């Protein structure tokens, strides 16, 4: 009825004009009746309050509430009848919510950089880390999102989540137990490359012409292989060797780059020049992160952020206590805060120097 009155109100004015303009013999009582209707308070109220936009909004809220009710009943049914499948379903939905929230946050950061002229290296630590992690997650999440677009395809995603969670899913879709298990597994892959990297360094030390620098490098490698944790001063003593030949980022052998790439979770199955570019890019990004973290201060990180920062830099923080993570990250920042962009190769090798034997012996978690 409201819609009929609304339509009548819209047609009143054209009818009046038509009647006045086409027939002078139109009865005056008819015109006065139309004029009286056009000024009717009831019709004015309907036209004012029952607009099409408000009708659409009310219809949208009604449909949204019905969908929410149906979803609650569906989740209750799954939780009651299929508890294991409900856990998978819940993890999947929460993962998409976190991914969507991260996408909104990244968009905000990008707009800030665009309109305020903020450069990447000047961003706060948390925003810089969000950009880095989201970019890595996005490349891995794209196939999963594409698969889930067709109707009912989310059930196929559930099957893939169940059988191949580590290979296909990003951490957003891992449950807490999988978080610890998969990160430990990835860290074990990193530790396999520690010894080959040290062996490559010893081979490269024979090409060092400075006798004193050569002795320092060999001593450093021997200490790590014996299970000792080198001092920050011992690492910085060989920094000049990691600028040019033989250990600069652009002078590393292909074999050395293939062993360093897994330390940063990069594939080693690429041509040498591509691996060198990727290592340089990721190394500089890590160096900028360290500088932003130094500006923020370690005491500002919560436990989750602290463990994530340690894990990214080469140590399995999920096997350590909070104080141990803070101590290790402090030593890492002591080294990285002294390095220049041209010494990024030393920063990458510090993943081995500082984490191989921390806290007392090689990690076996």
Of the ranges 36-50, 120-134, 225-239, 276-290, which one carries the lowest mean pLDDT score? 36-50
Burial of 154 (0-12, 13-18, 19+ CB in 10 A): middle
Identify the domain containing residue 16 by its residue range: 2-50
| Average pLDDT over every residue of 333-358 | 95
Is the residue at 361 inside a domain?
no
Q: Is residue 70 situated within a structural domain?
A: no
pLDDT at 56 exceeding the cut of 90: no
Cis, peptide link before residue 102, omega less than 30° from 0: no
Q: Is 60 among the domain residues?
A: no
Indicate whether 141 and 26 sit together in one domain.
no
Which region among 1-15, 153-167, 326-340 has the lowest average model confidence (pLDDT)? Answer: 1-15
Can you give the pLDDT at residue 71? Answer: 67
- Contact indicator for 193, 262 with CB cutoff of 8 Å: yes
Same domain, 347 and 198: yes
Grouping H, G, I as helix, E, B as strand and the rest as coil, residue 72 is helix
Place of tokens 């160096």: 287
Q: How many domains does the chain have?
A: 3
Predicted pLDDT at 55? 65
Cis peptide before 231 (omega within 30 of 0): no
Q: At a CB cut-off of 8 Å and minimum separation 6, what does 356 contact? A: 191, 194, 224, 362
pLDDT digits (tens, 9 = 90+) for 215-252: 999 999 999 999 999 999 999 999 999 998 889 999 99
Residues 34 and 162 in one domain: no
CA 297 to chain centre: 22
Q: Are residue 217 and residue 314 in the same domain, yes or no?
A: yes
Structure tokens belonging to residue 18: 């038509």
7 or 227, higher pLDDT: 227
- Both 199 and 346 in one domain: the answer is yes
User: Could you tell me if 330 and 275 lie in one domain?
Assistant: yes
Measured CA angle at 358 (ends 355, 363), to 5 deg:
85
Asked if 199 and 157 sit in the same domain, the reply is: no
Decide: 208 and 202 in contact? Cβ < 8 Å.
Answer: no
Q: In percent, how much of the chain has pLDDT > 70?
A: 79
Q: What is the mean pLDDT of the chain?
A: 81
Same domain? For 164 and 198 the reply is no
Identify which has the larger pLDDT, 135 or 153: 135
Is residue 213 situated within a structural domain? yes
Task: Note whether residue 61 is domain-resident.
Answer: no
Is the pLDDT at 21 greater than 90? The verdict is no
Looking at the structure, do residues 161 and 273 belong to the same domain, yes or no? no
What residues have CB less than 8 Å from 262, skipping those under 6 apart?
A: 189, 190, 192, 193, 268
Residues 233 and 311 placed together within one structural domain of the fold: yes
**Is there a domain that residue 341 lies in?**
yes
Residues 341 and 203 in one domain: yes
Structural domain contains residue 248: yes
Q: How far apart are the first and last CA of the chain?
A: 72
Q: Over the range 279-304, which residues count as b (16 or more CB within 10 Å of their CB) and which as e?
A: bbebbebbbbbbbbbeeeebeebeee
Residues 154 and 294 grouped into a single domain? no
Residue 63 belongs to a domain: no
**Binning pLDDT at 50, 70 and 90, where does residue 4 land?**
very low
Higher-scoring residue by pLDDT: 90, 127: 127
Q: Dump pLDDT digits (tens) for 170-223.
A: 888 888 888 889 999 999 999 999 999 999 999 999 899 889 999 999 999 999
Instruction: Give the mean model confidence (pLDDT) for residues 105-111.
Output: 95
Give the rounded percent of residues in the chain with a pLDDT score beyond 90. 55
What mean pLDDT is predicted for residues 49-69?
Answer: 67
Lowest mean pLDDT segment, chosen from 9-18, 248-257, 264-273, 294-303: 9-18
Closest CA to 283 of 235, 220, 350: 350
């Amino acid at each position: 009825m409201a819609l009929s009155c609304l339509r009548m109100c819209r047609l009143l004015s054209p009818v009046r004009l038509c009647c006045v303009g086409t027939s002078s013999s139109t009865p005056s009582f008819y015109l006065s009746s139309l004029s009286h209707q056009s000024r009717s308070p009831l019709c004015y109220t309907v036209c004012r309050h029952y607009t099409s936009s408000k009708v659409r909004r009310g219809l949208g809220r009604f449909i949204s509430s019905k969908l929410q009710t149906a979803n609650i009943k569906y989740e209750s049914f799954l939780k009651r009848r299929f508890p294991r499948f409900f856990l998978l379903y819940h993890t999947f939905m929460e993962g998409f919510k976190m991914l969507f929230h991260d996408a909104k946050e990244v968009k905000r950061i990008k707009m800030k950089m665009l309109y305020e002229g903020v450069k990447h290296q000047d961003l706060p630590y948390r925003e810089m880390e969000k950009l880095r992690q989201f970019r890595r997650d996005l490349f891995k999440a794209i196939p999963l999102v594409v698969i889930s677009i067709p109707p009912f395809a989310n059930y196929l995603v559930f099957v893939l989540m169940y059988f191949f969670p580590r290979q296909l899913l990003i951490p957003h879709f891992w449950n807490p137990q999988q978080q610890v298990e998969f990160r430990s597994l990835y860290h074990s892959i990193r530790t396999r490359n520690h010894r080959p990297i040290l062996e490559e360094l010893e081979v490269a030390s024979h090409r060092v012409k400075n006798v004193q620098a050569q002795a320092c490098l060999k001593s450093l490698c021997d200490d790590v292989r014996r299970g000792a944790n080198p001092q920050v001063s011992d690492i910085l003593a060989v920094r000049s060797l990691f600028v040019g030949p033989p250990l600069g980022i652009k002078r590393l052998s292909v074999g050395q780059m293939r062993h360093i790439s897994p330390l940063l979770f990069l594939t080693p199955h690429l041509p040498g020049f591509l691996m060198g570019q990727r290592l340089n890019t990721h190394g500089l990004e890590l160096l900028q992160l360290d500088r932003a973290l130094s500006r923020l201060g370690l005491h500002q990180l919560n436990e989750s952020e602290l463990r994530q920062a340690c894990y990214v830099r080469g140590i399995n923080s999920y096997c350590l206590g909070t104080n141990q993570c803070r101590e290790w990250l402090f030593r890492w920042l002591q080294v990285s805060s002294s390095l220049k962009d041209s010494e990024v190769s030393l920063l990458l090798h510090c993943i081995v120097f500082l984490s191989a034997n921390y806290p007392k012996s090689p990690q076996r978690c």
